[in-house]
Amino acid sequence: MHYMNFFITPRPFLHYSGSKSKMGFLFRVMFLSLYLFSHQTKAEHYNNASSSTGRKLASGCNFFRGKWVYDASYPLYDSSSCPFIDPEFNCQKYGRPDKLYQKYRWQPFSCDLPRFNGLKFLERLKGKKIMFVGDSLSLNMWESLACMIHAWLPNAKTTVTWRGIIGSVTFEDYGVELLLYRTPYLVDMVDEKVGRVLKLDSIRNGNAWKGMDMLIFNTWHWWTHTGSNQPWDYIQVGTKMKKDMNRLIAYYEGMTTWARWVNRNVDPSKTKVFLQGISPTHYLGREWGKPTKSCYGEKQPFFGKRYPAGTPPAAIVVNKVLSRVKKPVYLLDVMTLSQYRKDAHPTLYSGERSGLDCSHWCLPGLPDTWNQLLYAALIS
């Protein structure tokens, strides 16, 4: 069998809307909750207390509850001066006519989010290896962090390399290496005689993640792909091979395998582990109360007190899995603050890609805030 090197150029994701009715949504949530409550694999022996301790918010402040405010000093860098941005995220270069989306800063209700300092970041992490593991939203965040550091040290010596599905930006004077490991599901996808098999209980590729000083994991968007956008032919759980299954349950099974990998392979005294929360899409305007809209043409965030679409079921899975992880994992809970940013997508200004992209994010833009939250967790 051959373990697939999965490197796909980022493109707009197929939006998985599920039931269109509130009743259908509630049914899915109830079904998922019942499944999560009753289901526990034989290999699971989790300790809730240690997990919650590992995910405690820095300094007692909830950085993830707040609002977007206009800030004339933003953005933190100029896309034209950053050499690390892919065309898919370089919205200004490819014709986006407005810049207001770059001018919003996340303001927590109960404290201030530390402003990013690239020099302090490099000094704090001198000689360290930081790896983003996940899909093209990990790519989004990885390039954002490289740009944020570069803005502080524009003349710093850097080395950029690609080895298959592993990318690296090294700031040579500090020995800080930012790595990206491209994997859409975290679990393995294997090329076998029957076709491409997504193995929900296998992470053999995880050997490449060992030895890092910091790991930032992310996965969700590819779990919803169907039809020609689906990169696998079968799903395997244990010895059972299926053509398909409930995607939320599949996601839970895959994330449970990831949790076991963390428990077995991470030494908290040597490696900090982060999980990027669910990054939302904005294809359906009814999710923010505008049924005829999509992300195209949106120029301001959602300013309401509560996002109408509420919490997506995938976030329930994330919280359930994290409640069972024995090792400390810090949740970068970017879901709600990102739901408000219907204005921050590439839309049609995404390089040479065709179609509407309401999945990824322009750079500079929202992923810079994700990295500010990462920075705050490290220095607080």
11-24 pLDDT, tens per residue?
333 343 444 444 55
Average model confidence (pLDDT) across the chain? 89
Q: Is 115 exposed, middle or buried (0-12, 13-18, 19+ CB in 10 A)?
A: exposed
Confidence at residue 35, expressed as pLDDT on a 0 to 100 scale: 63
Tell me: the pLDDT tens digits for 160-184? Answer: 999 999 999 999 999 999 999 999 9
Confidence at residue 33, expressed as pLDDT on a 0 to 100 scale: 54
Contact yes or no for 129/177 (Cβ under 8 A):
yes
- Residue 55: pLDDT above 60? no
pLDDT bucket at 36, cuts 50 / 70 / 90? low
Q: Pick the residue with more confidence: 45 or 73?
A: 73
Q: Which of 345, 359, 360, 368 is catalytic?
A: 360
Q: Per-residue pLDDT averaged across 311-315, rounded? A: 96
Active site residue 188: no
Q: State pTM to two decimals.
A: 0.88
Confidence at residue 302, expressed as pLDDT on a 0 to 100 scale: 98
Confidence at residue 60, expressed as pLDDT on a 0 to 100 scale: 75
Q: Which of 343, 357, 359, 368 is catalytic?
A: 357
Contact yes or no for 221/279 (Cβ under 8 A):
yes
Active site residue 81: no
pLDDT bucket at 354, cuts 50 / 70 / 90? confident
pLDDT bucket at 351, cuts 50 / 70 / 90? confident
Q: How far apart are CA 265 and CA 128, in angstroms?
A: 18
Q: How far apart are CA 132 and CA 130, in angstroms?
A: 7
Q: Pick the residue with more confidence: 286 or 7?
A: 286
Q: Per-residue pLDDT averaged across 70-89, rounded? A: 97
- Residue-by-residue DSSP string for 25-76: HHHHHHHHHHHHHH---TT----HHHHHHHTPPGGG--TTSEEEEE-TT--S
Active site residue 357: yes
Q: Which of 51, 79, 136, 144 is catalytic?
A: 136
Tell me: the pLDDT tens digits for 274-296? Answer: 999 999 999 999 999 999 999 99
